[in-house]
Amino acid sequence: MWRHNYQIFGIDFTNKAAKTSPDFACFIGREPGSTKDYCYPYAGKGTPKSFGVRRGAGRLTHFGSDVDYSPSKDVNDRVQQVVDSSGAVIGWQVANASNETTELFSMDGRLLSKTDRNGLVTTFVYSDTDTPPEIAPRAGYLLKVQDPFGRALQFTYNDKGSMATMSDPAGNVTAYEYESSQNLSKVTYPDGKSRTYIYDEPALASNLTNARLLTGIIDENGKRYATFSYDSQRHATSTEHAGAVEKYTLTYPNSPLTWMTDPLNTTYTYRYSNILGVLRQTSVSRQSVLNPYIPASASTEYDANGNIARYTDYDGTATAYTFDLSRNLETQRIEASGTTVARTIQTEWHPTFRLPARISEPLRRTTFSYDAAGNVLTKTLQATTDATGTAGFNAVLSGKPQVWTYTYDNFGHVLTAKGPRTGVNATSTFTYDAQGNLSTQTNAAGHVTTYSNYDANGRAGRITDPNGLATDLSYTARGWISTVTVGSETTSYDYDGAGQVTQVTLPDGSAIYNTYDDAHRLIGVRNTLGNSITYVLDAMGNRTSEQSKDATGALTRQITRAYDGWNRVKQITGAVQ
């Protein structure tokens, strides 16, 4: 999946407002097209004391204080200045702990590159003053994201600075349209199908105007798929799919408290606490009209760094956690804590990477070794006599260890994988093409499977098995499998606009047809002979009834299911599945 997932806001060390607004937090990255000033507080000699990175999921990570660039205790990312030979700051380097990549930002906050542990670099290219206006209206817009093997996503923008098109490595174009306020109104995919977005419908947006609240989605089949509503404070109050199914409603009696009712009419009460500046869920209780006398609650406690210290589930069973607070890595977990069936799992971590070095659990210890890039070189599985895990790494070992070993190329691709069997060849080998695609896979018996005819998006067009039988694959413009040809026999797949499989045509010409409701739920299957299965779903999407009929329409099997308010099957009537 190709995805650019950054929304990055600006930093400018020349901004004069910084000197007059010492408490204004600054941000790495610039929002293209913004006319607002960028203010950056200075600590001492012209360097910012705080700034932040906003990532695609909306999370904003703050760095810095009056002393250094340390983030909050619950943040594991780290930032440092990049300086030239004279000591002048020329950029910023962020160590992203979530995927252990290093992100390089320019002085004006543009993400220039991401480098993974193996040294593979993804680059980001931006518009400049020479960029044609039909590509981008001004400098500073992301034009291209290129992976380490040269595959790239490319972008263009309208005159307002909103993304107009995205082209994938094969040249397939996805186009974007906007309302006058630049809300995204339509996405047209490479197959010509489009999805439409609706905003500020009065009955759903509490009659607010220009609130830019998403209230509806029309899918690629031209059907209204999703509906959202809001209160006058712009809080979401409901979300549902077509036919009022899968509907969740929210109310906010007081902060920090939220009531949520699910599609089965079970009510949940969520409570939150502010921990290190973030609202974190501390408890949730639920009560169902179908289980009115069985209220239940779950609770969560946190340590000083915002890590979960204890979680108690709806049944009252607790799991206790201990973390290394210097790295926010779990070192111990006790499941069913305080009971006679408690299980203890302990973990020791690699000193550099956020990767486990040793894991101790009941009756087993697992040990890993890594190369300098963090690729697993060995995995050793060793039985122990510790049935509960309480002895941890002091447990008595039992029997012989099982060892897996691996080798890699310079890109971090697995070249060999050797299993623990002895006395026989237990090694599988792999080769790759110049684009990093898997070319061959040879198993321990010497059987070779080859992969070839890759398209520009990295999808294999042909797979040849060890007997020489080739499977050819073709894809739609949106990346869905279109045909699978094994030898001379072809199976084809048809889709509706939303990507749901509507027909599978088998090599003998027979077919299977699928039917969906407007909420994208499978409700029927039939074959060429006229045999059919019909599904009835409840508001949660559970199958409450299945009816199978033969070609004459005669009922051949019927199954009904009943669910409790907590979405658990409580009764099945009919044939056993």
Instruction: Determine the pLDDT at residue 296.
Output: 87
Share of the chain above pLDDT 70, in %: 88
The mean pLDDT value for 451-461 works out to 98
Instruction: Determine the pLDDT at residue 565.
Output: 87
The mean pLDDT value for 236-252 works out to 98
Is the Cα dihedral 336, 339, 340, 346 positive or negative?
A: positive
CA dihedral defined by 10, 11, 14, 15, rounded to 10 degrees? 60
The mean pLDDT value for 408-437 works out to 96
CA dihedral defined by 86, 89, 91, 95, rounded to 10 degrees? 100
Q: Is 1's pLDDT higher than 60?
A: no
Q: Which residues contact 418 (CB under 8 A, 6 or more apart)?
A: 404, 405, 406, 426, 427, 428
Instruction: Determine the pLDDT at residue 31.
Output: 43
Q: Is 9's pLDDT higher than 50?
A: no
Q: Is 473's pLDDT higher than 80?
A: yes
The helices-and-strands tally (H runs, E runs) of the chain is: 1, 44
∠ at Cα 364 (359, 366), nearest 5°? Answer: 40
Instruction: Determine the pLDDT at residue 67.
Output: 61
Q: Is there a contact between 452 and 462 (Cβ–Cβ < 8 Å)? A: yes
How far does the chain reach from its first CA to its final CA, in angstroms? 35
Share of the chain above pLDDT 90, in %: 78
Instruction: Determine the pLDDT at residue 40.
Output: 35
Within 10 Å of residue 11's Cβ, how many Cβ atoms?
25
Instruction: Determine the pLDDT at residue 576.
Output: 52
Distance CA(90)–CA(255), nearest Å, equals 44
Instruction: Determine the pLDDT at residue 25.
Output: 38
Distance CA(371)–CA(427), nearest Å, equals 19
Tokens at residue 368, please?
Answer: 């890993």
Per-residue pLDDT tens digits for 48-102: 556 778 776 677 787 776 566 778 899 898 888 888 999 888 888 999 998 999 9
- CA 454 to chain centroid, in Å, comes to 25
Per-residue pLDDT tens digits for 27-48: 443 344 433 323 333 334 445 5
Per-residue pLDDT tens digits for 258-300: 999 999 999 999 999 999 988 999 999 998 766 666 768 999 9
Between 232 and 88, the higher pLDDT residue: 232
Instruction: Determine the pLDDT at residue 293.
Output: 66
Instruction: Determine the pLDDT at residue 80.
Output: 86
Instruction: Determine the pLDDT at residue 311.
Output: 98
The mean pLDDT value for 127-151 works out to 96
Distance CA(73)–CA(62), nearest Å, equals 11
E strand map for 19-134: 51-54, 60-63, 78-83, 89-96, 101-106, 111-115, 121-126
Q: Which of 46, 30, 116 is nearest to 81 (CA)?
A: 46
Instruction: Determine the pLDDT at residue 526.
Output: 98
Between 138 and 37, the higher pLDDT residue: 138
Instruction: Determine the pLDDT at residue 39.
Output: 32
Strand partners of residue 283: 271, 299
Q: Is there a contact between 331 and 346 (Cβ–Cβ < 8 Å)? A: yes
Instruction: Determine the pLDDT at residue 66.
Output: 57
Please, what is the average pLDDT of the chain? 90
Bridging pattern class, strands 481-486 and 236-241: unpaired
Distance CA(414)–CA(47), nearest Å, equals 44
Between 62 and 406, the higher pLDDT residue: 406
